[in-house]
Structure 1
């Protein structure tokens, strides 16, 4: 609050000074009462912007006309007076810009170490996204690593992105991005479906019965580029064709790891997520020995519309915002269950133009993608893992009431209607939002159903080690307790299920199970139920195992600067790996002038001013991670250079700000010329 008051006072003082200059220099150009009225309006506008917590550069933009108009008008009137002011301003700008460029050019991009092989090597990866730019939104910083470790990666675009821009433009942009990353054009798959749909036809996802729908651009069949056709070129726009094509793509390549956008606040993102889950279920049923790792993530909330937090001395990790009503009410994943993938050191830079993610985004010119770079680039990319080895996909499920088919359809959400998401202004940014809750995919027993039970018949005996129950994520209708009754007579009580709809894991260790019953015995609200029921023969959730160095706030680190003093504390993110301790890990430091040791479950690093060192943590199991820690002498100058890089990006490089400046300056120039003409 104190900072806001200081900022407010400085801005008001600057505006008043600009007005006084105008009054003194212009003489009769402005009347006194007009200037006073303008001062009141400016004060009110400034107060509004500050308390609305809008963008910093919006505050700066308010000042532009009131600093520029006196200079321009005075120059026009006197032809020579105050010419030194714009010259001095240009000189100061060039000096600061020179400092920024020197630091940017001198930024040392770490040579990649080989400690991410456990994550990125020997994989076959399929990324499924709706639009051309969502590939970077979802996996920017990870694509570089899969390529570096020579894994086989394919990117599948569900739509042509042809809503406001031609498909030719957007598809060619995605091919340029693939070339930048070193991914062969043959590994880029265009499904060729429309970007949004004709309102009269409705969305393709909700169009059943073999209906052909028109896209928003008036197309009815899949298409792509002449030399890079759609996967099933010329297929009619029918939901059945989307599911078929997506199923065939998965079956053709059978990737070990599939990444897909989740239930984002965009109709095409929602459809892509649900189509994928529908297609994958068919794949799993038809291919009993194929069980890929599935990772679902958000292209919007944790990236495109995420926190604008790039410009710092040390890169920060993705934060749990849930700023919109939509994300607060319907996210059915526990934030603590997320898998945090480390990114390429080439992505985690201090100066935004040096980041490989920024350079990749620059190819998506039609989307002004670099405008959102500071939200997209973080020290990690977050996903939620879905197991695909449940034995219930082909099981016979009967329920006492309700629709039992929803319990083993792999979908945690579903919807019968897809509307465009209205916008809400969050921290100065228009973000898609909705108060609607997708309830179509939830099994709900009837209110008068006294049994409220599910019977599962497996067909053949299985050893069930663990059962996952996904509660109705409504926050008001939740299961307090349920009984799992096996055919052997063994009964297990679940206790309260996770009310956010994330998986509640119940260890069963039941052998030779042919059938079992789940009976709801206690609940809150009027509509208790489940979105999904899964049973597994093993307790292994995800075979992936790795570690990553973090700072005290759990931000992943790559090239870390000690913020104050000569010491810092580091921690360790361990995914399916032992926790940090002297028994499990050793720490090495490559600079004799620096020290590193494990103390009280933290890594304490001492690094004198002007020194740097490479810290390597190695587990007894062979997992390792490295990061550079430095204590530069010129930290204050570096911080100023980073701050100026922020303004350089937001004001000079940002497409939106260029348009904003242009319109505003033209407006004030026109008004100024009109007033000058009136005084003649």
Structure 2
């Protein structure tokens, strides 16, 4: 049995969390176990659907399936919010931001229990501004402590979700006092299109399916996010259930019968969920920015990259970057604050493509100090400079050399983030719960995942943070240098109790590891066979639901 100090309430910085997804089924693809765990812990969970999912099927079909999904995981029906926009309109909306689009379902304004009509008393047009306004309205109406939104992948509506949510968050930060925590996750490459690994010997962690990425040049669908820097959280006990058809993730996904969700349970049940955090306290968003040449507005628009045509998988720097003109010898950004401001973190983003050219950046500050960052090879996924203590500044000047094309975003923070710390034990980098080493398998390498030590990007300046965590085996402290050898020496068919804890013992994770016999392996495979037979028996029910949905099909892709 795994025991951990992890708390959804502390992780979400409060008692409420909002999930914003493009379609009815993306909530489970992106964050099913997280939604379930938050509900089980008693948090207020809202799920917001950007579109009505009405490209192939009527809204009634997608709506009823969503209500059934909610029953399976205990989500109150009143916490389901439909924004009511058309399915598969992402390309047209982004291509022509001033136009009102008519969807395949022949609608050009929100409908179907849409939030704009029910709460704001006025529908919104199918337009760029209409979507952003609806997002602003729903976020400010509920004011969740944390927002988790679907990030950029191969579907045009997922790409639309990425950009419109970012623009809504930008507006909220610039013009209101509300500062939610903001996370992103993927619905396709780590969910809908990830690998079938449920029947491995031990429960494995989430992986990204590289075949599902829009480009093989990047490690995730979003070119500014690195897989190595992902944030990982554990999943609840029920969602680790090795009986597929009774697992709440399978049942919730299978409720989306028109999408044949029952086929994807073996992809979605893993030992962790992965997200990326985006801070919402960037001081540059309300600072005065001037540049020696080029377009300054790109530097504080909350968009680290952009694209003019979401059907393409190439990114033109001119669509999202401040690029000084060729004759600009100064190549300077001046950031002025309206009052003396404490700064501890400087983050810079640039061209998402790696040109493999070394460049240098000089940062001058009003306190007379300067920073020189040399031999920078890549800024597409960000670089960070962290002062040991905050410095009080009135302005900052940033100079880039000619080897640096430009910058896409500048982010300044007054502190090095108040991170909620938690930990987990890893077995060969898999989130470990009750691990069995079966005959013929190697003993896994046991290492820690410690959130406070995780890096969001390449970091300069900061003093090295020491790992103050300690290990126990069967309630006895073990030096980290002897951890692996002790496990290998003492491992037997009786479970070893492993505990990873902070120096004060308040942050901890416990897991077990043992040797499995040949009989254990046979029992595992027998149970998996029985599980597959149970799936075959219940599959006919979901197939019938899928066939019934075809009567409401409107045609489509």
Structure 2 CA distance for partners of 1:175 and 1:121, relative to 1, 3 Å: farther
> Which residue of 62, 65, 68 maps to 1:176?
68
3-state DSSP of counterpart to 1:469: strand
Confirm or deny that 1:641 pairs with 2:526: yes
Other-structure match for 2:331: 452
- Name the counterpart of 1:625: 509
**Which deviations, in whole Å up to 9, do the C-alpha atoms of 1:505-543 show, x marking residues without a partner?**
11356733222211112526xxx1222101111122x52
Determine if the alignment matches structure 1 residue 561 to structure 2 residue 443: no
**Counterpart of 2:43?**
151
Distance 1:142 1:532 in 2: 30
Q: Structure 1 588/145 Cα, relative in aligned 2: closer, same or farther at 3 Å?
A: farther
Given the alignment, which residue of 145, 151, 167 partners 1:278? 167
Structure-2 residue corresponding to 1:462: 341
Corresponding residue for residue 355 of structure 1: 247
Q: Give the structure 2 partner of residue 517 of structure 1.
A: 397
User: 1:385 offset after TM fit, Å?
Assistant: 1.0
User: Shift of residue 480 of structure 1?
Assistant: 1.4
The answer to whether the aligner puts 1:208 opposite 2:97 as a matched pair is: yes
Contact 1:158/1:190 (CA < 8 Å) preserved in 2? Answer: yes
1:320 and 1:418 map into 2 onto residues whose CA distance is 21
Question: Could you say which residue in structure 2 is the equivalent of 1:489?
Answer: 368
Aligned partner (choices 206, 219, 226) of residue 318 of structure 1? 206
Cα distance per residue 1:456-476 (max 9 Å; x no partner): 122222122121001211112
In structure 1, distance between residues paired with 2:398 and 2:71: 51
With over 3 angstroms needed to count, the CA separation of the structure-2 counterparts of 1:596 and 1:563, relative to structure 1, is: farther
3-state SS of the aligned residue for 1:602? helix
Shift of 1:239: 1.6
Residue 614 of structure 1: CA displacement?
5.1
Aligned to 1:107: none
Report the Cα distance in structure 2 between the residues aligned to 1:222 and 1:362, rounded to whole angstroms.
27
2:412 match: 535
Matches within 5 A, 1:78-227: 113=3, 115-117=5-7, 118-119=10-11, 122-197=14-89, 203-209=92-98, 211-225=99-113
Q: Which residue of 2 aligns with 1:476?
A: 355
Deviation of residue 303 (structure 1)?
1.7
Given that residues 130 and 157 in structure 1 are in contact (C-alpha distance below 8 angstroms), is that contact kept between their aligned partners in structure 2?
A: yes
Gaps of 5+ in 2: 455-463, 545-557
Query: Displacement of 1:406 after TM fit?
Result: 0.8
Note if contact 2:344-2:414 (Cα within 8 Å) is conserved in structure 1: yes
Bigger radius of gyration among the two: 1
Structure 1 position 417, deviation (Å)? 2.2
The corresponding residue for 1:504 is 383
Matches within 5 A, 1:279-298: 279-288=168-177, 290-298=178-186
CA-CA distance at 1:447 after TM superposition: 3.1
Q: Deviations over 1:198-253 (max 9, x none)?
A: 9xxx62233333x3211121111111249997655632212212111111222222
Ranges in structure 1 where 5+ consecutive residues have no aligned partner: 1-109, 420-433, 660-680
Q: 1-side partners of 2:231 and 2:56: how far apart?
A: 34
SS across alignment from 1:171: helix
Instruction: Give, in whole Å, the separation in 2 of the partners of 1:601 and 1:133.
Output: 46
Are 2:37 and 2:235, in contact at CA under 8 Å, matched by a contact in 1?
Answer: yes
> 2:438 is paired with a residue of what secondary structure?
coil
Q: Secondary structure at the match of 2:101?
A: coil
3-state SS in 2 of match to 1:186:
helix
8 Å CA contact 1:392–1:535 kept in 2: the answer is: yes
| Deviation (angstroms), 1:658 | 8.7
Q: Assess if the C-alpha contact under 8 Å between 1:205 and 1:271 holds in 2.
A: yes
* Residue in 2 that maps onto 1:570: 446
Q: In 2, Cα distance between the equivalents of 1:219 and 1:146? A: 35
Following superposition, the deviation at residue 654 of structure 1 comes to 6.9
d(CA) in 1 for partners of 2:246, 2:361: 54
Residue in structure 2 matched with residue 413 of structure 1 by the alignment: 305
TM-score between the two structures when normalised by the length of structure 2: 0.84
Secondary structure at the aligned position of 1:473 is classed as coil
* Contact kept in structure 2, 1:415 and 1:438, CA below 8 Å: yes
- Check 1:178–1:270 CA distance in 2 against 1; reply closer, same or farther (3 A cut): same
User: Which of these residues, 181, 185, 190, is aligned with residue 302 of structure 1?
Assistant: 190
Q: CA deviation at 1:317?
A: 1.1
1:114-156 deviation line (CA, Å, top 9, x unaligned): 6322436843211111011111111121112111221221111
1:395-444 Cα offsets, whole Å, 9 max, x none, are 1212222211011011112222232xxxxxxxxxxxxxx54225422222
Aligned-partner SS, 2:20: strand
Using a 3 Å threshold, how does the CA distance of structure 1 residues 342 and 114 change in structure 2: closer, same or farther? closer
Q: Give the aligned length.
A: 519
Q: CA deviation at 1:261?
A: 1.0
Mean Cα deviation higher: 481-490 or 623-632: 623-632
TM-aligned CA distance change 1:481 to 1:567, over 3 Å: closer
Give the C-alpha shift of residue 650 in structure 1: 9.0
Q: What is the rounded CA distance, in whole Å, between the counterparts of 1:645 and 1:581 in structure 2?
A: 47
Distance verdict in 2 for CA 1:123–1:543, change over 3 Å:
farther
Q: Supply the distance in 2 between the matched residues of 1:575 and 1:188 (Cα, whole angstroms).
A: 31
Confirm or deny that 1:370 pairs with 2:262. Answer: yes
Indicate the SS of the match to 1:393.
helix
Q: What is the aligned-residue RMSD (CA, Å)?
A: 3.3
Mean CA deviation greater in 471-480 or 560-569: 560-569
1:41 corresponds to:
none
The corresponding residue for 2:470 is: 585
State the shift of 1:640 in Å: 2.8
Task: Name the residue aligned to 1:342.
Answer: 234
Q: Deviations over 1:560-612 (max 9, x none)?
A: 2122489765332111169999973352648xxxx995552636444543x44
Give the TM-score normalised by the residue count of structure 1: 0.70
Greater relative CO (CA pairs within 8 A, separation 6+): 2
CA displacement at 1:502 relative to structure 2: 1.4
Provide the secondary structure at the position in 2 that maps to 1:273.
helix
Alignment equivalent of 2:481, drawn from 582, 588, 600? 600
Q: 1:262 to 1:583 in 2, by over 3 A?
A: closer
* TM-superposed deviation, 1:504: 0.6
Distance in 2, matches of 1:629 and 1:521, equals 53
Q: Compared with structure 1, are the counterparts of its residues 568 and 391 closer, same or farther at alpha carbon in structure 2 (3 Å cutoff)?
A: closer
CA contact (8 A) 1:549 1:572 kept: yes
